[in-house]
Homo-oligomer: A and B are copies of this chain.
């Protein structure tokens, strides 16, 4: 079975948006054992879209298309699909219902332009969109089954996994091989080192293809397993995971695809502990990440984003002597910050950051990328210093915040420094 993935939209063809949908869809199809042969992208131009759909329809068995289903004038995918299939557009009841269902709880009326979104090619089957106004649809063009989805990633993801993938798997039928994907998340090692530690996996487990992906600031090891025997496949994945855990060791923070903040939250819950944060250079990012986890209010008490020295002194009780003598970016200062935020909130742990995210503010002694991290526990106060060399304020904030959470994770697990 041959699959192609198409994306439409002027914003992609002009380069003002990077198409991430095609990678997402390809990855999911790949995991299901379906071969993706091409990606194509065209702008919001009728002739180009119609010929693209016709070509793909003569070549592929299935095609997934994203974009161009919105309410505005430049959203012309449905019309292009109808032209390529040689049919007319008509108002689809299921599509209209999808739009009505979306608007009902919002108590908004459907505007003229939204009615346009209910026009589907004759013979198409609607794919409802619970998260937006643009219903998708399935349509045969040439010899190929086309799945049309909106371009907004969050709407597309759920429609793809809930409606499209099951139908594609059914079309794929008995040729089906079992698939497994395992994500092992690593922090604190360079991609090349992680890659070297995977040597030998493919030889010893021929069913498994390892892949590496840098998702800054993490490295994900992905194990793709494919085979006819599902139980044997599970055993292989398990053994390969154990092997990788031995080789990479404590830099692995999750084998379930969990985020660092979810892992830290799980550990805090398990230990019935709570956390309070004093953030300077990370500017609220640590608490934003922690509070992205549903239920985090159980263990997350407070974060003081103390950008100014005065706030460090007034809110956290850092002494002005320490700041005057050592400066804001110093291990002694972050120890006082961590201890202070722990004391004023009564949390089990206090975690503090102070550093220089850039682009300005660096000195020869403390260049941009310098960060000090303090952690106050029931029985100790520790501090750490690092100097990273990323040329970006945002990347610095991210690596600082991730390093602080990694220190907290190791403290919670009783892992001593390497």
Contacts and interface: CB of A to CB of B under 8 A. Distances in A.
Nearest to A73: B195
A306 B302 CA distance: 5
A113 B346 CA distance: 49
B195 A113 contact: yes
Interface in A265-287: 277, 279, 283-287
A307 interface: yes
B294 A196 contact: no
B23 A52 contact: no
Interface residues on A, range: 35 or more
Contacts of A27: 14-16
Given A10-B211, A24-B15, A25-B15, A41 B38 contact: yes
Nearest to A295: B360
A287 B305 contact: yes
Contact of A191 (B18, B26, B70, B288): B70
Contacts of A214: 152
Given A17-B213, A392-B154, A307 B315 contact: no
Interface string A301-320: 11111111011001100000
A16 B209 CA distance: 12
Most B CB atoms within 10 A — which of A13, A19, A20, A292?
A13
Contacts of A291: 283-284, 305, 307, 357, 397
Interface stretch (A42-50, A233-241, A248-256): A42-50
B42 A41 contact: no
Interface string A156-192: 0000000000000000000000000100000000111
Contact of A284 (B7, B29, B288, B357): B288
A377 interface: no
Nearest to A106: B389
Given A286-B284, A391-B131, A314 B344 contact: yes
A152 B296 CA distance: 31
A301 B294 contact: no
Interface in A66-87: 70-74
Contact of A38 (B42, B190, B211): B42
A30 interface: yes
Given A16-B213, A302-B311, A37 B30 contact: no
A243 interface: no
A292 B302 contact: no
Given A12-B26, A283-B291, A301-B308, 11 more contacts: A7-B39, A11-B222, A15-B26, A15-B30, A38-B52, A72-B191, A133-B192, A154-B216, A283-B290, A284-B287, A302-B311
15 contacts: A11-B211, A13-B39, A14-B36, A15-B22, A15-B26, A15-B30, A16-B222, A38-B52, A40-B41, A71-B195, A108-B190, A114-B192, A133-B192, A283-B291, A292-B393
Closest 4 CB pairs of A and B: A283-B291, A15-B27, A15-B26, A284-B287
